[in-house]
Amino acid sequence: MLRTLLTACAAILVVAAIVGGTSEAFQASLSGLSLWWNFVFPAVLPFLVLAELMLAFGLVDGLGVLLAPLMRQLRLPGSAGWALVQGWTSGYPAGSSAAARLVRSQRLTPAQGQRLLALVHSPNPLFVIVVLGAGFLHQPLFGLLLLPLLWAGSLLAAWTMSRLAPLSAAETKTTSADGASASAAAAEPSGLTGAGSRDASGSDREGAPAAEGPPAPVAMRPAATRASLAARALQAVEEGRARDGRSFGKALGDGVNGAVQQLMAAGGLIILASVLLRLLQPLLPAAIAGPGLTAAAEAHLGAAALASWHAPEPASLLQAAALAAALGWGGLCALLQAGGAASDSGLRLLPLAGSRLL
């Protein structure tokens, strides 16, 4: 009851602030819209469509098999590699949805899902390379160098958490069995692969039940255990393609529709965060109301603010470190998106925030 009351009061205060500062809110809204339309939308849209095509033709399933040895080093079953590919290729909400689906299908324990959620929470690589590197900084090489460092930081944090957390009997079972024991619980109406097309949140647009996440890992099948890792990856690609069943034209249309919906949601968050930050600036000390606050709230706005930040000497090093920290954190808006995508799976937002700070 108290939480509902506080949320309602906060919403009323935001509306009153926007009405009271109409001019400021309008200018901030235009600023957020300009950033989204001129940089984020054209740079990220092709990559999101490509990610959908990768799903349709089974490439994500094959990459998940190839990443299985790395997942086991992080005390996760090999099927977690599928979620890692989702998060690192499509951006913040996709990885959280994939991790939540693995937990719901009981291929991961909640503790494993919490660690995986922290690992897959990553910015879209096209945003880092194209928007930040080529667009904001006019240095494409910067984004190419920064992206592997962000991934390495996520891996290091996940490895640290896996070593600090006690390994339960259930986690030992799922890791050793590679997630195959839960294949019977894998069928749900939502998923990122299957016969029906999906929207950006992972729901089935045509309503056809589909397999939850990737199939049971090929490594557990007697014939595949003797095959090489590459052969098992190729087999996973073939099975993923057969399971999806969409033609190229159908997958392309679904990819465009889903990408536009996802980018529209991202644009709304960017505009809303821009307005709220503009309204908060007069109420905060000058030392706080700067690029750091913007980066803490929203990653895209924060990257734009830090890219034009006149840092003290050594300016280039401090600017690079600040951008890396901002993208590693991801912003409060991205955390809320991830929490919303994983809310019905029992995964929590506060441990995710702690892991991203790490």
Which pLDDT value is given to residue 21?
A: 64
Which segments in the chain show pLDDT lower than 50?
179-212, 216-226
Report the phi/psi class of residue 314: left, alpha or beta, with left for phi > 0 and alpha for psi in -120 to 50.
beta
Which pLDDT value is given to residue 213?
A: 53
Question: Is 7 among the domain residues?
Answer: no
Question: Is 260 among the domain residues?
Answer: yes
Question: Is 291 among the domain residues?
Answer: no
Range of the domain at 91: 42-267+334-350
Q: What is the pTM for the complete model shown?
A: 0.71
Q: Which residue has the tokens 């299908």?
A: 105
Q: Using one digit for the tens of pLDDT, what is the confidence trace for 113-148?
A: 888 988 999 888 888 998 898 888 888 899 899 999
Question: Is 90 among the domain residues?
Answer: yes
Cβ count near 143 (within 10 Å): 22
Question: Is 33 among the domain residues?
Answer: no
Question: Is 224 among the domain residues?
Answer: yes
The packing angle between helices 110-120 and 80-90, to 10°, is: 30
How far is the C-alpha of 325 from the C-alpha of 319, rounded, in Å?
A: 10
Q: Which residue has the tokens 């399933």?
A: 61
Question: Is 8 among the domain residues?
Answer: no
Question: Is 51 among the domain residues?
Answer: yes
